Chains A and B, each alone.
Chain A
């Protein structure tokens, strides 16, 4: 794509949108995020209904430890910042910097997943498995779906690093990095809701 119209567009909009075909893929990715948002919305609705249905199991107040979840929040919010810098570096054609910040994102994400898993393991070792109550089912599935998304994101980032090493910054890899960052920010926003709506308000109630 090297028609004058496109290169003019090139000046005014971010580089990942410059190629028409790749920019259509970004639109498509937004639509995917919309479907994912409805998945989480449904799971939040389920959790809201089941929150008080604790049966013979623990209540949210008895179960949650805030320490690990605050740590998870810090890790994930920071990783959202680092992936933002990676995109900034991509727009300025600094490949080494993209590598560095993407790896930092990945490590922070892995830290988040490990903390979450150890948190879940500690709950389950007290006998709070999802079989026990509707509340625990809703909790594990809502938070676990988010954790699974983060895990998938980490694997995605690894394949992205390999592609960047092989091909450098092209129209395709730029778009892939950008959609990855959209995905990652999206998970961050979902986490903000989980932290507030599940953990904090669970502790208060």
Chain B
């Protein structure tokens, strides 16, 4: 027995994970875990947690679950970033060593892309899309819950690697041969492949779900060209997900087969070819950057008209540019590895296709500016993020164009220039967009408004911090500092810029704290949104109370044009006392189910077993997956009636029912 325990401790907590930071993290997790269990037990909330949240299939609740996960992951990824910046602040000063530095930049990148940006985007999709297109739910509510739990357990599997067994350490892209078993024996990379595979299934399902929702479930009269622009960007993003995630699945699965079952895809011997992985990965990876940026474009296209009190300029060109970005996104993946040596013809093609993307993106930038032109602009936090986005994204885009010039790329490849460029577009584009959307739709999700004053403090901290962090990194790149180096010597002229960059990173951290403080403060003291339309909005989601009742629309609206809700208000239709009692019909709502949670849990158990190659556990998890699927196949009891009286009562309390 002691020998068995010794083996267990040695496998789960190998010596290189027994670092002060990791033991600290272990302790924090233990304390937080015990705290949560204590609170749930003390206030008898277990049943509430299971029935209201863990089994929910309501898209509005799933949105909140996604958002909580995304903010938690933003914290984890942000702490990683601060550890990296601390290590680089001064030459030859290394609070964390080289090996741990590798782990931290790997988890920083992976978490920020897959477990922060993606769920944040899905939170907004879930919160907004059915309301915006006048639908009662998404097309497949149970699959929606399944997506969430696959994502959540995938994220959990990835995050426990830090304390159990050791983190992945081959970068967020996980290139072979560095991820091959011969060069990277610990469980870290297996964690990476398995958790991304599990979360990736969830993401693919989300793509299918929202594509079908938008194609099939729009309110009568809402033609494609009358859809709100956020719905358009969701449609295009979903299509990108459907075509981009399968190559990632293949790349990850083949790597896993190499590691765990001894195949020879990306090995150096036996006819393997590591560059094949790189191609497959970026066949996903390049569309992925549009998967995370297009929703932000959609958010800005909602925020700008609302706060400029003007119709969106150039609706049709906005749609055309979205769709052309979608197609171009698949033709640029080689620009991530011009230095592979594919030859001048191939490189020229991919350089040109990359430059082409600047055209539709430029069209969108001009359209937002022209929407603001002559409008009655209100400077809210959502609008501020949009206004910061335009110059920031233009700089990020321009440096991207510089990288698409192949000879220049040979110089800049793998330097801090690249690091600065993609943070410039990912933070300046995606994160600014998501924060703008968060402030904009927060009242719709939660029924109260985030404090604007505190929001502005957070905004300035975050935006100034952003520029202070990444502007020096462009210069560092030009001075030859390469990506992923864990320390550097004196005398290269890098240390002043690095100190500045680190200060900026901590300023961004302060911006994050301001955001969390704002959320907690507003939860208690924030202004309640009683009208459902706090911003004088233009699209259908603002026609509903905040938060929307679980059936969304008591009566599905008929749409006559773009900005339907604005047109309604122009015609003097107030929503109070509009609905006639006899128009309310009984509905069927999807019924809550524990299956998606159990499915996620089974994947988690199976994945954990595979990471350590403990086959009984892996098989047990696999059987759990099969059992969940069989249960789902035979479960016909998936609907719950909602009587008309209940709807009338709810609408009555919102003051929307005729007396």
Contacts and interface: CB of A to CB of B under 8 A. Distances in A.
Given A39-B246, A134-B272, A172-B636, A27 B264 contact: no
Given A25-B140, A50-B273, A159-B630, A35 B246 contact: yes
Given A24-B139, A159-B633, A131 B263 contact: yes
A134 B140 contact: no
B352 interface: no
Given A53-B271, A141-B257, A35 B208 contact: yes
Interface string B233-252: 00000000011011101110
B633 to A, nearest CB: 5
Contacts of A135: 271
A54 B212 CA distance: 43
Given A24-B217, A50-B271, A53-B273, A137 B249 contact: no
A163 interface: yes
Interface stretch (A41-49, A90-98, A120-128): A41-49
A100 interface: no
Contacts of B140: 25, 28
B198 to A, nearest CB: 16
Contacts of B247: 38, 42
Most-contacted residue by chain A among B250, B272, B633 (CB, 10 A): B250
Given A35-B204, A43-B250, A46-B280, A134 B271 contact: yes
B263 A27 contact: no
B636 A34 contact: no
B215 A27 contact: yes
A32 interface: yes
A107 interface: no
B24 interface: no
Contact of B264 (A28, A35, A49, A55): A55
Nearest to A166: B634
A152 to B, nearest CB: 10
B265 interface: yes
A49 B275 CA distance: 11
Interface residues of A, number: 39
A133 B265 contact: no
A139 to B, nearest CB: 11
Contacts, number: 111
A174 B199 CA distance: 31
A183 to B, nearest CB: 14
Nearest to A134: B271
Given A31-B211, A46-B254, A134 B270 contact: yes
B250 A134 contact: no
B184 interface: no
A88 interface: no
Interface residues of B, number: 39
A137 B212 contact: no
A60 interface: no
Contact of A141 (B139, B263, B636): B263
Contacts of B216: 24, 27
A49 B276 contact: yes
Contacts of A167: 636
Contacts of B272: 53, 134, 137
B209 interface: yes
Given A34-B243, A42-B280, A55 B269 contact: yes
Given A46-B280, A159-B633, A39 B264 contact: no
A135 B264 CA distance: 9
A102 to B, nearest CB: 15
Interface in B262-306: 262-265, 269-273, 276, 280, 283
Contacts of B209: 28
Residue of B211, B216, B269, B270 with most chain A CB atoms under a 10 A cut-off: B270
B588 to A, nearest CB: 10
Given A46-B276, A55-B269, A163-B634, A38 B246 contact: yes
Contacts of B263: 130-131, 137, 140-141
A84 interface: no
A66 to B, nearest CB: 24
A153 interface: no
A46 B250 contact: yes
Contact of B208 (A31, A38, A45): A31
A132 interface: yes
A138 interface: yes
A131 B264 contact: yes
A34 B242 contact: yes
Given A31-B211, A55-B270, A159-B630, A134 B265 contact: yes
A25 to B, nearest CB: 7
Nearest to A42: B250
Contacts of A55: 264, 269-271
Nearest to A28: B212
B425 to A, nearest CB: 26
10 contacts: A28-B140, A31-B242, A35-B204, A35-B242, A35-B245, A38-B242, A39-B246, A136-B264, A141-B254, A172-B636
Interface of B: 139-140, 143, 204, 207-209, 211-212, 215-217, 242-243, 245-247, 249-251, 254, 257, 261-265, 269-273, 276, 280, 283, 630, 633-634, 636
Rank and list the top 6 A-B pairs by shortest CB-CB distance, nearest first.
Answer: A134-B271, A53-B271, A38-B246, A55-B271, A42-B250, A137-B263
